[in-house]
């Protein structure tokens, strides 16, 4: 039916268009909310800490000490990664384009013109046809069967029939008919660009890891200046005082020592490692068809405790699907026989809408029919009718209440009972009726139903639920993540979809009744799971209300109406089938639209959080002891015991390189808030142990009259050994990959202290026998103290209270099995204790062998390597002993291998030595006893399989 509100307008003239362009009343829209490239570079490069690091880097180059400037590489890498990360976010935001139609049709000077959407001006007459996107907000002037899909904007899944005087929103798509409309709002004032302005505001995703690291950097920034002056003063006084230091050139060493102290305080490696972990996580997710717009979003979903889901396009594929035909009693045999052909014609008709087209598979066309009279479907009257030349009567298909009135909902009629029961399941219902009277020309012109209609069958349709939706929601339920379904559709329909995907809900909450008060809104959100008739602004309010109750919220969607809520959420997730705006503002985009990828994202996020928490303890431990050393040596006016290059090698081999591998290993530990508190609760006491131990060593070394190179070498040895121990402690429970990492770092440290070229570069000298004995004793005390710190840290901070179980009487067979398990547990505990004792014994023995290098009658290099190797195996035995108590099959295998190596090395000492060595003999005996116990029943039955324990890392 044609309809028009006024005489057909010829559109604007060229002069009128020019006037509007000159006054800025065009559809051009550029939101100035994305950060500029310069601001991104400035934020990542010109920071306080980069300034300190680059200044120190430059000073060392200017004074000719480039060997001590290795730390600058971490700063350069971190700045580059940070810039790349934010440029990716900027690129996504700048690609935001709600108006993605390639052309717009307008009437100008009485003729149609094809122009770019940005060239539309206020009052332009728009020509709207099927498939076109509305380029600007407009009032309908004339319409012929005009239907517009506004689901991307409002959330309403049904197309809306437009009449003259109605408003068409920019960004909506014409799905049927044609018409003209006058542009009433253009540019930034249009409905779609209103969302663009809100959505394009730049904001980085909330990241506990990043905010925690930034907090540490802020703390250090407050003290680095005063501490730097304190250290510089001490180094100048130590090297001759202010009167002579500049004339003698000793100021260079004072500056180098100060720079060593300052750079050690900054956990630059932690920032770099966090960025690398994010980048690798994003790369892994990309292989699973998940695009990460901002790297910290990798960890974000692991912290989420409420997921808000849009229905259309998220839980469903956004398409209507035919469900079933429900025949009614009372139809004649002729009428029943004609149902299939009538439905086939409706499904195949040229102007069939999405609902009718969904029946094509169920009702294919068997033979063509000649139409005698036809009234097309209208969303206003919600029915259509057709008469065929070769069949008697008229077929009518439409909404039951619009075709049969009150009888379609009455409990007294079969039609009413059937329609009501089916509607309560959330399915959409249509009715197919038949009249013996054919359509007359008067009926067609008046769009009137034929007389004496009989209801033949009820047709049900349902939105196609994504096949992976139920499984994914079940996963979130197991992970204790709350679900809220938020849709612009009918609450009853939304509730039915929710039940179909496994949620236990009776009915949806109508958002039109939501309170304006945010506190009351948050309470309603805590009590209800499903919401319908939700506006875009309400979606955003609902997200912020959940956040006000302490929830970490993820929002998924695909329409422009979801953009504001996705932007406001902690983690925004968009389907690739969604609008460009939604994908641009989302943190994550599911490229193949598979909802089932979300568990993959959760797992990746958990791996990042758990592993970074583990390695953060390494870096923060260094920050703590470096800060304390700087303060102590500044207050006591002592020469700083390290060169920057010596700190670089110990940091690299005990922290930086192993942290890189540890940060990328599988780890399925569940997220627990309080990352920084847990990390500092270990880093602070362990850092105090290291600082006090090195201070103790410095006083002892000066008492023994050691010169500065000997003092620095001894301090480097202590820091290397203790650093390896801290690494091994934090790597527990060990698996084959962690053992390889820890062992490789130990071997590399031995190489640094043994290879002449490396010793020369890092200024490592022989500390002498007395100083070697002293540093060995101090190292043992420090290692023991750190082990105590870790035990207390696990018991008081990491371990959750054990869940109490209700006592259940045991049967006789169960008591027998329990007794056997208890006996095996006792023996396993004894084996673990022996393993700990052996580890201590082997480590001490290795150190004693190492000290044998000072015997003038033996080969120093041979004893150095043998002692270092025995000490390495002793440390590794200590590291895997914890897994023995838990029944780890991999720990049993690795312990057996280490014990075998230790037996072989001790045997070499016994054979090659010129006298009987009781230490080696005891080592061989104890190791042999432990191996026998490990592989003798019933102890062997208490260990798991090797593969099961190889990668099952627990929480840090």
Q: What is the pLDDT of residue 93?
A: 45
pTM of the model: 0.62
The residues, ordered by sequence, that sit 6+ positions from 779 with a Cβ below 8 Å of its Cβ are: 693, 717, 718, 721, 722
Mean per-residue pLDDT, 797-824? 50
DSSP 555-574: EEE-SGGGHHHHHHSSEEEE
Give me the percent of the chain exceeding a pLDDT of 90: 5
Sign (positive or negative) of CA dihedral 198, 201, 204, 206: negative
The residues, ordered by sequence, that sit 6+ positions from 560 with a Cβ below 8 Å of its Cβ are: 98, 152, 153, 171, 192, 195, 536, 579, 581, 582
925 has pLDDT over 70: yes
Say if residues 144 and 179 touch (Cβ distance below 8 Å): yes
954 has pLDDT over 50: no
Angle formed at CA 214 by CA 212 and CA 216, multiple of 5 degrees = 75
Closest CA to 578 of 148, 96, 118: 96
What CA–CA distance (Å, rounded) separates 697 from 711?
A: 9
* Residue of higher predicted confidence among 692 and 56: 692
Q: What is the pLDDT of residue 302?
A: 76
| Chain mean pLDDT for the chain | 77
What CA–CA distance (Å, rounded) separates 216 from 390?
A: 84
Say if residues 580 and 100 touch (Cβ distance below 8 Å): yes
pLDDT tier, 867 (very low <50, low <70, confident <90, very high otherwise): low
pLDDT tier, 33 (very low <50, low <70, confident <90, very high otherwise): very low
pLDDT tier, 577 (very low <50, low <70, confident <90, very high otherwise): low
Each residue of 445-488: pLDDT tens digit? 888 888 888 899 999 987 777 777 888 888 888 888 888 988 87
In DSSP terms, 149 is beta-bridged to 173
What CA–CA distance (Å, rounded) separates 55 from 259?
A: 10
Closest CA to 214 of 92, 47, 398: 47
Which of 296-310, 461-475, 551-565, 692-706 tops mean pLDDT? Answer: 692-706
Q: Quick one: three-class SS letters along 746-758?
A: HHHHHHHHHCHHH
Closest CA to 307 of 601, 512, 576: 601
Task: Give the pairing of strands 371-375 and 428-435.
Answer: unpaired
Mean per-residue pLDDT, 638-661? 79
Chain centroid offset of residue 449 CA: 57
Which of 513-527, 597-611, 743-757 tops mean pLDDT? Answer: 513-527
Give me the percent of the chain exceeding a pLDDT of 70: 77
In DSSP terms, 462 is beta-bridged to 321
Each residue of 214-251: pLDDT tens digit? 788 778 878 888 888 888 888 788 777 777 777 777 77
686 has pLDDT over 90: yes
**Which residues are known catalytic residues?**
310
Which of 63-77, 289-303, 858-872 tops mean pLDDT? Answer: 289-303
Mean per-residue pLDDT, 4-25? 76
Mean per-residue pLDDT, 876-905? 72
Say if residues 99 and 117 touch (Cβ distance below 8 Å): yes
631: exposed, middle or buried (Cβ count in 10 Å: 0-12, 13-18, 19+): middle
What CA–CA distance (Å, rounded) separates 911 from 917?
A: 10
Mean per-residue pLDDT, 20-33? 70
Q: What is the pLDDT of residue 165?
A: 85
What CA–CA distance (Å, rounded) separates 434 from 449?
A: 11
Please give the structure tokens belonging to residue 281: 């996580």
Q: What is the pLDDT of residue 948?
A: 47
Q: What is the pLDDT of residue 387?
A: 92
Say if residues 135 and 99 touch (Cβ distance below 8 Å): yes
pLDDT tier, 431 (very low <50, low <70, confident <90, very high otherwise): very high
Q: Which of 21-30, 190-199, 257-266, 813-822 has the lowest mean pLDDT?
A: 813-822
Which of 178-187, 286-295, 420-429 tops mean pLDDT? Answer: 178-187
Closest CA to 741 of 656, 866, 826: 656
In DSSP terms, 878 is beta-bridged to none
Mean per-residue pLDDT, 315-342? 81
Q: Which of 334-338, 809-813, 913-917 has the lowest mean pLDDT?
A: 809-813
Q: How many CB atoms lie within 10 A of CB 242?
A: 10
Q: What is the pLDDT of residue 810?
A: 45
Mean per-residue pLDDT, 191-219? 67
Q: What is the pLDDT of residue 705?
A: 86
737 has pLDDT over 80: no
692 has pLDDT over 90: yes
Each residue of 511-554: pLDDT tens digit? 888 888 888 898 899 888 899 878 777 888 899 999 888 888 98
Cα-Cα end-to-end distance for the chain = 70
Mean per-residue pLDDT, 682-686? 92
Cis before 225 (ω within 30): no
pLDDT tier, 803 (very low <50, low <70, confident <90, very high otherwise): very low
pLDDT tier, 941 (very low <50, low <70, confident <90, very high otherwise): low
58 has pLDDT over 50: yes
pLDDT tier, 693 (very low <50, low <70, confident <90, very high otherwise): very high
Mean per-residue pLDDT, 119-135? 83
Say if residues 172 and 134 touch (Cβ distance below 8 Å): yes
* Residue of higher predicted confidence among 90 and 145: 145
807: exposed, middle or buried (Cβ count in 10 Å: 0-12, 13-18, 19+): exposed
Q: What is the pLDDT of residue 690?
A: 93
Cis before 938 (ω within 30): yes
Please give the structure tokens belonging to residue 194: 């209103």
Please give the structure tokens belonging to residue 800: 């959750």
The residues, ordered by sequence, that sit 6+ positions from 900 with a Cβ below 8 Å of its Cβ are: 927, 931
What CA–CA distance (Å, rounded) separates 98 from 369?
A: 43
In DSSP terms, 483 is beta-bridged to 307
687 has pLDDT over 60: yes
Say if residues 141 and 33 touch (Cβ distance below 8 Å): no
Sign (positive or negative) of CA dihedral 522, 527, 533, 536: positive
Say if residues 487 and 558 touch (Cβ distance below 8 Å): no
What CA–CA distance (Å, rounded) separates 351 from 381?
A: 16
498 has pLDDT over 80: yes
pLDDT tier, 160 (very low <50, low <70, confident <90, very high otherwise): confident
Q: What is the pLDDT of residue 457?
A: 93
What CA–CA distance (Å, rounded) separates 745 from 662?
A: 13
Output the furthest CA–CA distance in the chain (Å, rounded): 124
Q: What is the pLDDT of residue 697?
A: 92
Local structure of 100: helix, strand or coil:
coil
Q: What is the pLDDT of residue 432?
A: 93
Q: What is the pLDDT of residue 827?
A: 66
> Look-up: residue for tokens 């089938």?
577
């Amino acid at each position: 039916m044609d309809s028009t509100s006024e005489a057909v307008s010829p559109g604007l003239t060229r002069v009128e268009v020019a006037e509007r362009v000159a006054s800025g009343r065009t559809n051009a829209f550029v939101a100035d909310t994305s950060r500029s490239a310069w601001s991104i570079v400035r934020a990542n490069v010109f920071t306080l800490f980069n300034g300190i690091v680059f200044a120190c880097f430059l000073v060392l180059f200017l004074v000719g000490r480039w060997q001590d400037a290795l730390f600058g590489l971490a700063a350069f890498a971190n700045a580059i990664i940070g810039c790349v990360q934010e440029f990716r976010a900027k690129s996504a935001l700048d690609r935001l384009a709600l108006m993605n139609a390639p052309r717009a049709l307008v009437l100008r000077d009485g003729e149609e013109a094809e122009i770019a959407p940005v060239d539309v001006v206020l009052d332009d007459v728009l020509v709207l046809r099927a498939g076109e996107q509305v380029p600007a907000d407009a009032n309908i002037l004339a319409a012929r069967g005009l239907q517009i899909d506004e689901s991307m904007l409002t959330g309403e899944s049904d197309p809306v029939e437009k009449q003259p005087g109605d408003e068409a929103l920019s960004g909506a798509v014409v799905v049927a008919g044609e018409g003209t409309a006058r542009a009433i709002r253009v540019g930034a004032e249009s409905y779609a660009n209103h969302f663009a302005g809100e959505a394009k505001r730049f904001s980085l995703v909330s990241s506990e890891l990043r905010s925690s690291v930034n907090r540490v950097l802020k703390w250090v920034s407050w003290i680095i200046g005063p501490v730097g002056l304190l250290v510089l003063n001490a180094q100048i006084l130590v090297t001759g005082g202010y009167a002579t230091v500049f004339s003698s050139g000793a100021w260079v060493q004072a500056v180098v020592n100060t720079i060593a102290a300052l750079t050690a305080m900054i956990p630059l490696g932690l920032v770099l490692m966090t960025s690398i972990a994010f980048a690798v996580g994003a790369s892994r997710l990309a292989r699973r068809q998940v695009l990460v717009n901002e790297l910290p979003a990798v960890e974000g979903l692991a912290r989420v405790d409420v997921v808000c889901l849009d229905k259309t396009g998220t839980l469903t594929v956004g398409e209507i699907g035919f469900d079933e035909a429900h025949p009614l009693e009372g139809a004649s045999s002729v009428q029943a026989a004609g149902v299939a052909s009538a439905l086939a014609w409706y499904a195949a008709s040229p102007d069939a809408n999405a609902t009718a087209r969904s029946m094509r598979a169920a009702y294919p066309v068997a033979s063509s029919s000649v139409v005698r009279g036809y009234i097309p479907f209208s969303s206003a009257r919600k029915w259509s009718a057709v008469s065929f030349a070769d069949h008697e009567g008229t077929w009518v298909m439409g909404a039951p209440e619009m075709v049969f009135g009150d009888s379609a909902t009455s409990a007294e009629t079969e039609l009413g009972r059937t329609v009501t029961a089916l509607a309560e399941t959330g399915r959409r219902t249509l009715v197919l009726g038949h009249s013996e009277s054919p359509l007359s020309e008067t009926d067609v012109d008046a769009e009137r139903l034929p007389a004496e209609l009989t209801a033949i069958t009820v047709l049900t349709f349902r939105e196609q639920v994504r096949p992976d939706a139920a499984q994914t929601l079940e996963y979130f339920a197991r992970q204790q993540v709350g679900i809220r379904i938020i849709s612009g559709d009918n609450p009853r329909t939304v509730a039915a979809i929710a039940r179909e995907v496994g949620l236990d809900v009776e009915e949806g909450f109508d958002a039109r009744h939501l309170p304006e008060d945010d506190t009351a809104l948050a309470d309603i959100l805590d009590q209800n799971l499903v919401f319908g008739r939700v506006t875009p602004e309400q979606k955003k309010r609902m997200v912020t209300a959940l956040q006000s109750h302490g929830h970490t919220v993820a929002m998924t969607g695909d329409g422009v109406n979801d953009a504001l809520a996705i932007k406001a959420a902690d983690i925004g997730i968009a389907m690739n089938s969604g609008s460009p705006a939604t994908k641009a503002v989302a943190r994550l985009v599911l490229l193949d639209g598979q909802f089932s990828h979300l568990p993959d994202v959760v797992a990746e996020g958990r791996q990042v959080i758990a592993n970074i928490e583990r390695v953060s303890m390494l870096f923060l431990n260094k920050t703590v002891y470096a800060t304390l050393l700087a303060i102590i040596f500044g207050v006591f006016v002592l020469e700083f015991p390290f060169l920057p290059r010596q700190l670089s090698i110990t940091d690299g081999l005990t922290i930086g390189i192993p942290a890189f591998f540890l940060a990328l290993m599988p780890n399925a530990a569940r997220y627990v808030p309080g990352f920084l508190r847990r990390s500092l609760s270990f880093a602070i006491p362990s850092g105090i142990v290291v600082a006090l131990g090195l201070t103790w060593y410095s006083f002892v070394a000066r008492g023994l009259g050691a010169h500065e190179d000997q003092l620095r070498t001894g301090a480097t040895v202590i820091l290397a050994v203790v650093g390896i121990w801290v690494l091994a402690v934090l790597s527990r429970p060990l698996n084959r990959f962690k053992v390889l990492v820890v062992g490789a770092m130990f071997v590399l440290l031995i190489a640094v202290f043994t290879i002449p070229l490396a010793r020369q570069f890092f200024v490592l000298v022989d500390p002498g026998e007395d100083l070697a004995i002293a540093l060995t004793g101090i190292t043992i005390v420090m290692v023991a103290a750190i082990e105590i710190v870790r035990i207390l840290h696990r018991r008081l901070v990491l371990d959750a209270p054990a869940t109490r179980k209700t006592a259940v009487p045991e049967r006789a067979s169960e008591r027998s099995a329990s007794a056997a398990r208890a006996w095996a547990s006792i023996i396993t505990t004894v084996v673990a204790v022996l393993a700990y004792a052996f580890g201590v014994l082997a480590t001490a023995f290795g150190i004693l062998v190492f000290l044998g290098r000072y015997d003038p009658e033996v080969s120093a290099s041979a004893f150095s390597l043998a002692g270092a190797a025995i000490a390495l195996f002793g440390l590794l035995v200590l590291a895997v002993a914890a897994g023995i108590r838990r029944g780890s099959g991999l720990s049993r295998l690795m312990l057996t291998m280490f014990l075998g190596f230790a037996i072989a090395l001790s045997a070499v000492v016994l054979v090659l030595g010129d006298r009987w060595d009781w230490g080696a003999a005891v080592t061989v005996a104890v190791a042999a006893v432990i191996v026998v116990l490990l592989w003798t029943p019933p102890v062997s039955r208490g260990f798991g399989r090797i593969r099961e324990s190889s990668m099952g890392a627990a929480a840090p």
